[in-house]
Amino acid sequence: MRGASKKSLSSAATASAGPTKAVSKEVERIDQFFYTYADNSSVMIDPEGIETLCSHLEVPHTDVRILMLAWKMGCEKQGYFTLDEWRAGLKALRADSISKLKKAFPELVQEVTRPSNFQDFYIYAFRYCLTEDKKKCIEIPVACELLNLVLGLQFRPQVDKLSNYLKYQNDYKVINMDQWMGFMRFCNEINFPSLDNYDSDLAWPLILDNFVEWLRENKS
């Protein structure tokens, strides 16, 4: 009986060690993947490394999936991936190579576009573009690019008109978070192009009141 007990304990120990060993091997492969692109001095994947990664993934660095990847990793600084961020994101995606990361993209897109996640991603996209500490606004050209990237596929007509208006108007040089959130709410809630349910007496940012007025004035 004593021998059997030792054998059982040994088997249990091996079984419990198995998953741990597998996890450490996975992390090792993810780390190796990271160092393929990381800058040796900063131990981060910098903008140049991200360009190379995008080239290997066969996507432009402006592709929304790269922004989705940054969201998945929880990246804090635009254009830089730390080892911890890389590990967190790629473990969740079960991707330790270029081929696996490519295959993970459709699942990542599905995850981000779920209503329960999309608002978080939309907020993240704005914050990710705040490139300086204590910065609270993004410039109009950046806002237009970002709108196209994150809302363009779902709301092309609205985004095109909004971008045209933002480039045309002279009252605002930058966009804040409240205005940014208003853009998404507008796309989700307002009948377009009729605008028949837009009520300027409700709590809309002034920039959207001006946008709707401009649309109505320029309606052909």
Under the banding of pLDDT at 50, 70 and 90, the label for residue 18 is low
pLDDT at residue 116, rounded to an integer: 92
Kindly report the average pLDDT of the chain as a whole number: 92
**One domain, residues 131 and 158:** yes
pLDDT in tens, 31-56: 999 999 999 899 999 999 999 999 99
**One domain, residues 140 and 200:** yes
Average pLDDT of the residues in 196-202: 96
**One domain, residues 130 and 190:** yes
pLDDT in tens, 46-104: 999 999 999 999 999 999 999 999 999 999 999 999 999 999 999 999 999 999 999 99
**One domain, residues 39 and 54:** yes
**What is the spatial distance between Cα 130 and Cα 145, in angstroms, rounded to a whole number?**
14
DSSP letters spanning 57-75: HTS-TTSHHHHHHHHHHT-
**One domain, residues 11 and 97:** yes
pLDDT at residue 168, rounded to an integer: 96
pLDDT at residue 102, rounded to an integer: 98
**What is the spatial distance between Cα 145 and Cα 147, in angstroms, rounded to a whole number?**
6
164 lies in which domain range? 117-217
Helices (H), the chain: 2-35, 47-57, 64-73, 83-93, 98-113, 115-128, 140-151, 156-168, 177-189, 206-217
**One domain, residues 108 and 142:** no
CA nearest neighbour of 37 among 50, 26, 28: 50
**One domain, residues 93 and 130:** no
Is the pLDDT confidence value at 1 over 80?
A: no
In this structure, what are the phi and psi dihedrals at residue 72, rounded to the nearest 5 degrees?
A: -65, -35
pLDDT at residue 16, rounded to an integer: 46
**One domain, residues 15 and 69:** yes
Is the pLDDT confidence value at 218 over 80?
A: yes
**What is the spatial distance between Cα 124 and Cα 112, in angstroms, rounded to a whole number?**
11
Q: Tell me, rounded to whole angstroms, the distance of Cα 99 from its chain centroid.
A: 20
pLDDT at residue 47, rounded to an integer: 97
Residue 48 sits in a domain whose CATH number is 1.10.238.10
Total domains in the chain come to 2
